Structure 1
Amino acid sequence: MIKLTDTQTIILSAGAQRPDNIALPLPKGLAGAAAKMAVSKMIEHGWLQEVDANLRRGEPLWRETGDGHGTTLVVTDAGLLAIGIEPVVVKTVAAIRDHAAKAAAPKPPSQRAGTKQAQVIAMLQRSDGATIAEIVEATQWQSHTVRGSIAGVLKKKLGLLITTQKVEGRGTVYGIPLCDHKQ
């Protein structure tokens, strides 16, 4: 088994727990020449690798290359093995973490056909729109429910653009223009 210093063990263990096995930030108190020497030895052993940092993803910088780019440090498969972790296990855990993050992402709201909500949307999409009273008559909802549905569900949740205009003889007419989503 490979003999690691405490500092090397801490750097590799912390990196193994981070996304993409990024070894930065280094432990507190490790800076300057001591950090450079520790990292250089770990790169020589093949436990760390210097790779281009993706600044858009917020990856921490190890050093700047002088051409406007920077590098970060990544724990290699050999580094994982040095601390007794199988690289396959780390990759599996990372894949599970990624899958859980994607599964937790909320799906966008959808409209169901044949519901009162769909009926309201259809009424608002007519060329002459609809008034609150017309929607109340068609849905048998209370007027406050219609107003709440327009403001909460249609505008906020579904992101539909609702227009209003005063029409003599009808009152306030609500409508959804053909380009119905907010930009």
Structure 2
Amino acid sequence: MTQIQLTDTQAVVLSAACARDGGAVFPVTAKLKGGAVGNVCKSLLKLGLIEEVPATDINTVWRHDEARGPITLRATPLAQSMLGITEHDATTTPAENVTTSSPRRKGTKQEALIEMLRAPDGATIEEIMAATDWQSHTVRGAMAGALKKKLGLEVTSEKVEGRGRVYRLPGA
């Protein structure tokens, strides 16, 4: 099996699509310039992570096909499986084993941060610093940049008596 790694941009576009009802790729919320949206979508199509389907909304048209009419894009079951959203039957997928290079690599400090924030008790800045060997500004930057902006995760916080400010991800 060939292992394929996604860029941060591909992962952001795919994550946003998988979060929508029906897996719609459009509108793309990532800030991309020029033909970057087309290039990202073409690469995800080639990997089998998104597919072309008839468009029902004129604002989501990817391209026009003479035979099929307006076409849009949606995430495939393989994409949802790859992002850990659903289980997917390997017999119906391409032979590639697809992983993301940035948001979801295993054994990273970012993964440790996400696990700590998903724990029922959440985590304080000090606890995260001890687990990751990061400084406090790096922890705050990772939560604001990587988790909130890039991955679209909602980090919440509250003051807990005896612990201080505790940060959590929804579903924790």
Q: Same fold (TM over 0.5)?
A: no
Greater C-alpha radius of gyration:
1
TM-score, normalized by length of structure 1? 0.41
Structure number having the greater strand percentage? 2
Structure number having the greater helix percentage? 1
Task: Tell which has more relative contact order, 1 or 2 (C-alpha 8 A, sep 6+).
Answer: 2
TM-score, normalized by length of structure 2? 0.43
